[in-house]
Amino acid sequence: MSVFRLTRWMTLGIMLWFSGCQNQPSHQTNFSTSEKQVTAEQGMITWRYWSDSTFEYAKQEDKPVLLHLTNTWSHWCRVMESTTYTDPTITAFVQQNFIAVNVDSDRYPDVNRRYNMGGYPSTIFLTPTGEILAGGTYYPPTQMLRELQRIAQSYERDKDAIYDKIPEYRAKRTQMRRKFQSSFGNFDETVMEETFKLIRSEFDLVNGGFGDQPKFTQPYVLRFLLAYYDRTKNVQAIKMLRQTLDAMADGGIHDHLGGGFHRYCSGRDWILPEFEKLGRHNAQMLRVYGDAGELLHDERYRSVAEGVVRYLGMTLSRRNMPGFYSSQAADRNDRDNGEYYTWRRGEAAAVLLPEEMRAVELYFDIQNRGEMPDVPNRNVLYIASPYEEIAKTLNIDVQTVSQQVLSAATKLLDARLQREAPPVDSTLFVETNARLISAYQRAGDILERPDCTAFAQATLDFVLDAAFDEANGVRHTVLTSGNCTQIPQFTDHVYLLRAVLDVAQSTEGRERKRYLTIAKRIAEEMERRFRKTNYGGYVDIQPPQHAIGELRYPEKDMIDNAEAAMALVDLSRLSDDATYKLRAERALHAFGGRYLEAEQLNMTAAYALAVMYFLDGTN
């Protein structure tokens, strides 16, 4: 069960005291991660850290908390910062009536997990003790002012009743948590079959992918289908997989010039993306396309994987030093919605030969009117016509079309590199680095890229040296980097364990022994810090003694537990120690009763993939 669903339900319980407050329509936001003041013509907002001292201050001032949950890469975060939060009336009202807290979702994944209202930015109103009063996502200035006024008035009028209600709220929250965490169940082959039925029911027969819009890549669904096909040779599985992989590779979600993938598409047809690129997401896409290229002997999928490596190497790696950066923003500022990646027809024609332009305007559908709703003459590049169809239209041979398109793409990329690129968040997060270590290690084997293998191992050694010790466990960032959570995160431990095991399997002798020793230490840290016998699986955090608000309640993440189970199966095999397999089994039992009720199909698929991995590793 997603924490978002649980938290929102309980929000409505508190909000009975607030007449008319509702969640707002979902759009998307971006703030810096430091405590700062945003100045405006007639006022300022003092943004504070998420900290004990901030909430103590809110209690002393007896003011509700305005939580702005943001990140460094989302377009709508930038928009809200530069419009709503610089409006003089809003800044003055917030400063007088609220304690404003700015939280970066990547730096505080535990806060994000509990308070996210379904998108970025998330705008949440809290009591001074951290309970949710109301919330939404993106608020334009007029709507935000109305909501601020309503919350402030309701809090002032009903605060006594609200505080009287908090013990009941906490009791219900604990009861709900126990109910949703009590999902123990057995697992067997039927998990794969039931998951396959669910995937098939949500498959988009027209566009590929799963569900309606917005369209996310859902990498665990794709990995499950690939593994399920390899296991069963089910024709429907490979058909759904290929249609989705081809649609994404052809679509605007794929960067056809620079390589890599944007985060998601707003429509069902994979054409119009939100342009941010995340390191952890591209790690998963590298794994999906690399594995598909190897298993299906498909050179096109291998080429897509090569493109992801090219993007990561050029943009999100430290190149001459080990380590991967976190993400690249969608755009340069709030007024630039995809300008770096999109093209006016005249811009493309200015850098291409006439025959090249004729080919790519058919191949990429570059027209006078494009796909960007706010700037209609800008084109998102996506593959609209195959070479064979273009060859017939232009009355030339296919090889000539291929040469013209490849030449044009090279020139367009060269021209794009002259533009100011969206900024990169240079924070070195452990989870992102660990995911990319695993992806690079696998790419090195599949794509025959020893440079990827070497960079993966160098980065792993760097991360282990800088971010892991037995006294503190795994830290959230590799290097000290501004304000971020100080609570150890299960996510960081499990993906670092996965990375250590992936590199260990490519080494021999002393090196393998060294990595396996480290893997065992991380596994013990996971057991000590995150295993709670009354929860079944691993929880995401061990709440500190005086945790704020929703951080009092540990949560189980289905995907992270699935990854832990697969890693523990490998550790059991490599170390010849059945103890780790038993731990994997317990993690899977923890979700056996509710895996089909997960909010996201990707979660169910991750669980089923881990069950398959466990059963095949046991048989």
List, for residues 67-76, the tens digit of each pLDDT value: 999 999 999 9
**Confidence label for 22 from pLDDT (cuts 50, 70 and 90):** very low
Mean per-residue pLDDT, 166-176? 77
What pLDDT does 482 receive?
A: 72
Which token pair is 98? 């609220």
Say whether pLDDT at 21 is over 50: no
Say whether pLDDT at 347 is over 60: yes
Scan for tokens 């490849």, then name that residue.
406
Say whether pLDDT at 319 is over 70: yes
Mean per-residue pLDDT, 216-227? 98
What pLDDT does 220 receive?
A: 98
**493-525 burial by CB neighbour count: b if 16+ within 10 A, else e?**
bbbbbbbbbbbbbbeeeeeeeebbebbbbbbeb
**Confidence label for 569 from pLDDT (cuts 50, 70 and 90):** very high
CA 109 – CA 104 distance, rounded (Å): 8
What residues pair up with 278 in beta bridges, in sequence order?
Answer: 327
φ/ψ region of 168 (left if φ > 0, alpha if ψ in -120 to 50, else beta) reads alpha
What pLDDT does 431 receive?
A: 98
**Confidence label for 439 from pLDDT (cuts 50, 70 and 90):** very high
Q: Is 359:404 a contact under the CB 8 Å cutoff?
A: yes
Residue ranges per domain, the chain? 3-181, 234-321+331-425
Alpha helices per DSSP H over 449-508: 450-467, 490-504
What pLDDT does 163 receive?
A: 84
What pLDDT does 166 receive?
A: 83
More confident residue, 163 or 155: 155
Question: Could you say which DSSP state residue 337 is in?
Answer: S
Q: What crossing angle do the helices spanning 235-250 and 190-202 adopt, rounded to 10°?
A: 50
**Confidence label for 33 from pLDDT (cuts 50, 70 and 90):** very low
Assigned CATH class of 3-181: alpha beta
**Confidence label for 333 from pLDDT (cuts 50, 70 and 90):** confident
More confident residue, 33 or 441: 441
The amino acid at residue 287 is R
What pLDDT does 6 receive?
A: 38
Question: Could you say which DSSP state residue 324 is in?
Answer: B
Q: Is the dihedral of CA 307, 612, 596, 557 positive or negative?
A: negative
**One-character DSSP codes across 48-100:** E-SSHHHHHHHHHHT--EEEEEE-SS-HHHHHHHHTGGG-HHHHHHHHHH-EE
For the stretch 98-129, pLDDT in tens is 999 999 999 999 999 999 999 999 999 999 99
Q: Is the dihedral of CA 24, 26, 27, 31 positive or negative?
A: positive
CA 138 – CA 164 distance, rounded (Å): 31
What pLDDT does 286 receive?
A: 98
**Confidence label for 535 from pLDDT (cuts 50, 70 and 90):** low
What pLDDT does 470 receive?
A: 82
How would you classify the pairing of strands 264-265 and 215-216? antiparallel
What pLDDT does 34 receive?
A: 40
Which token pair is 469? 């010790």
**Cβ neighbours of 136 (radius 10 Å):** 23
What pLDDT does 481 receive?
A: 63
Return the percentage of the chain with pLDDT > 90, whole number: 81
More confident residue, 460 or 29: 460
**Residue among 604, 611, 539 nearest 569 (CA):** 611
**Confidence label for 430 from pLDDT (cuts 50, 70 and 90):** very high
What pLDDT does 182 receive?
A: 60
What pLDDT does 39 receive?
A: 41
What pLDDT does 43 receive?
A: 55
Q: What crossing angle do the helices spanning 578-589 and 601-618 adopt, rounded to 10°?
A: 150
What pLDDT does 424 receive?
A: 97
Say whether pLDDT at 353 is over 50: yes
What pLDDT does 178 receive?
A: 64
What pLDDT does 9 receive?
A: 34
More confident residue, 536 or 52: 52
Q: Is 340:381 a contact under the CB 8 Å cutoff?
A: no
Mean per-residue pLDDT, 171-186? 71
Mean per-residue pLDDT, 25-34? 36
Which token pair is 68? 């702005």
Mean per-residue pLDDT, 291-305? 98
Q: Is 518:500 a contact under the CB 8 Å cutoff?
A: yes
Q: Is 391:401 a contact under the CB 8 Å cutoff?
A: yes
Mean per-residue pLDDT, 290-298? 98
Q: Please classify residue 573 by burial: count the beta carbons closer than 10 Å to its beta carbon, then call 0-12 exposed, 13-18 middle and 19+ buried.
A: middle
CA 321 – CA 309 distance, rounded (Å): 16
Q: Please classify residue 337 by burial: count the beta carbons closer than 10 Å to its beta carbon, then call 0-12 exposed, 13-18 middle and 19+ buried.
A: buried
Say whether pLDDT at 346 is over 70: yes
Mean per-residue pLDDT, 546-551? 92
Q: Is 551:111 a contact under the CB 8 Å cutoff?
A: yes
Mean per-residue pLDDT, 438-464? 97
Return the percentage of the chain with pLDDT > 70, whole number: 91
What pLDDT does 334 receive?
A: 77
Mean per-residue pLDDT, 392-405? 97
Say whether pLDDT at 4 is over 80: no
Say whether pLDDT at 49 is over 50: yes
Mean per-residue pLDDT, 265-290? 97
Scan for tokens 């699935």, then name that residue.
562
What pLDDT does 91 receive?
A: 96
How would you classify the pairing of strands 122-126 and 65-70? antiparallel
Averaged pLDDT of the chain: 90
